[in-house]
Structure 1
Amino acid sequence: MGERALEVRSKNAGPFWVTMELFMRDAEGYATVADEGFINEEVIARLYDLDPADVQIFRIPALNVVKISYPRPVAQGSLRDRDVHAGQHHVPLAALVPE
């Protein structure tokens, strides 16, 4: 995924949610991940060990962007939080290879 995207990033969306963004290089790359269903709730749930019902996906074709939000595994800043800024959550998504 990282090769087809300009940027793949993750960040906090409040203390209980993570947001990831895929900024695709062009409309063709966007179509591969968004329109053809490569990125969907089940894929994200499998990557991050989530319930698919908890995954929210927002597709923004005018910007070639896919935004994904899901509940943090632990609350931000809690004792077990190993990534306070949620800056490393994007790594499994960036490593995903579109078929």
Structure 2
Amino acid sequence: MAELRSLVTKVRSKNAGPFWLTIDIFCGSAESFARVRDGLSVSQIAAVFEADTQTVKRFDIENLHVVKFSLPRPAVQGAVEDRDMHGASWAALIGELDI
């Protein structure tokens, strides 16, 4: 097993509107893409965000070597409970996942 961030070029998270977050995992090669695609599950991402697996959307974009997840934000953007208005800090948590 290895930390995700050691296997890929970049992990990025960002807003996808006030209600959704997007996580992009740029793999950089076909080999890295295959390892991330096969080793990272929707349930792992849902666990990090404490989200229902039914609400997490996954997109495997093979020709770009990108794995993308979209899910509802834990708190609406700008709400008192929102601790990251831009959604950028979630990438660090995803990068620490072992796959």
| TM-score, with length taken from structure 2 | 0.92
Q: Which consecutive unaligned segments of at least 5 residues does structure 1 have?
A: none
2:57 aligned partner: 56
1:42 aligns with 2:43: yes
- Per the TM alignment, residue 25 of structure 1 is displaced from its structure 2 partner at its CA by 2.1
Q: RMSD in angstroms over aligned alpha carbons?
A: 0.9
2:18 aligned partner: 15
CA distance in 1, matches of 2:58, 2:86: 20
How many residue pairs align between the two structures? Answer: 96
What does 1:1-99 correspond to in 2, within 5 Å?
A: 1-34=4-37, 36=38, 38-98=39-99
Q: Deviations over 1:32-78 (max 9, x none)?
A: 011x2x22221111122111001000000000000100000110011
Q: Which has the higher helix share?
A: 2
**Are the equivalent residues in 2 in contact too, given 1:45–1:55 (CA < 8 A)?**
yes
| Percent identical | 39
| TM-score, with length taken from structure 1 | 0.92
Letter in 1 for 2:50: D
- Per the TM alignment, residue 97 of structure 1 is displaced from its structure 2 partner at its CA by 1.9
**Are the equivalent residues in 1 in contact too, given 2:49–2:74 (CA < 8 A)?**
no
